[in-house]
Chains A and B, each alone.
Chain A
Amino acid sequence: QVYLQESGPGLVKPSETLTLTCAVTGASITRYYWNWIRQPPDKGLEWIGYTHYTGQSNYNPFLRGRGTMSVNTSKNQFSLTLRSVTAADTALYYCARYNGDYRSFDFWGQGTMVTVSS
């Protein structure tokens, strides 16, 4: 079975940088594309972007260049760095595996809550 576990700081001040990590067990990080998806409080789901161990990444345009994703193959984990955060970035952040055969997200983590506040 595939498991994903997010970790992060919980609270970040406005204009600072947020870094989240997703640890993957049960699947090799080199075999799939890995995604971040977020859910603001009492709102719907929003795809943030994906990354691949080759360095290939693709981001949702709403990030406006603030985001960077990367893969650490030695730890079988991947990360999201989001710069210049604002209150609008307050959300529950999920990591998820992308299955290209079905163009879908088949395994999700439990999510980590991030609050942007001074």
Chain B
Amino acid sequence: DVVMTQSPLSLPVTLGQPASISCKSSQSLVHSDGNIYLNWFQQRPGQSPRRLIYKLSTRDSGVPDRFSGSGSGTDFTLKISRVEAEDVAVYYCMQGTHWPFTFGPGTKVDIK
């Protein structure tokens, strides 16, 4: 199975400041079709996961443009340009290139 790791696992941030989460995979996530199927999910306290980004960098409908995804091969990043109070959540990366699909351990973002 592809192992997904994330860092940091805890990220205290100041409101209005940027935040960045790293996600690494144990093997390349470049699919045979040339796409990278890397997703980011947000799980707010007491809620189910909500997809923010799919196929490396495409934002879901309704997701603020302060969220962006990037990366290549085995290294990926989720950036929040200016953190807002509603962004307090656990963020998971998930690879959809190789079955079984696997998730990272999650990064908890909270406010300093």
Using CB atoms and an 8 Å cutoff, list the residues of chain A in contact with chain B.
44-47, 58, 60-61, 94, 102-106, 108-111
Contacts and interface: CB of A to CB of B under 8 A. Distances in A.
Contact of B48 (A44, A47, A104, A109): A109
Secondary structure class of chain B's binding surface, majority of residues: loop
Contacts of A102: 37, 54-55, 58, 96
A105 B94 CA distance: 10
Given A44-B105, A45-B103, A103 B51 contact: no
- Which of A60, A102, A103, A110 gathers the greatest number of chain B CB atoms within 10 Å? A103
A108 B37 contact: no
B49 interface: yes
A108 B106 contact: no
Range for the number of chain B residues in contact with chain A: 20 to 34
Contacts of A58: 99
Contacts of B37: 102-104
A61 B96 contact: no
B92 interface: yes
A44 B92 contact: yes
9 contacts: A44-B103, A44-B105, A45-B49, A45-B106, A47-B101, A47-B102, A103-B96, A106-B60, A110-B47
B49 A108 contact: yes
Nearest to A99: B54
B68 interface: no
A44 B106 contact: yes
Interface in B39-57: 39, 41, 47-51, 54-55
Nearest to B103: A45
B51 A105 contact: yes
B112 to A, nearest CB: 22
B77 interface: no
Contacts of B25: none
A61 B51 contact: no
Nearest to A59: B100
A94 B96 contact: no
Contacts of A109: 48
- Which of A45, A60, A61, A105 gathers the greatest number of chain B CB atoms within 10 Å? A45
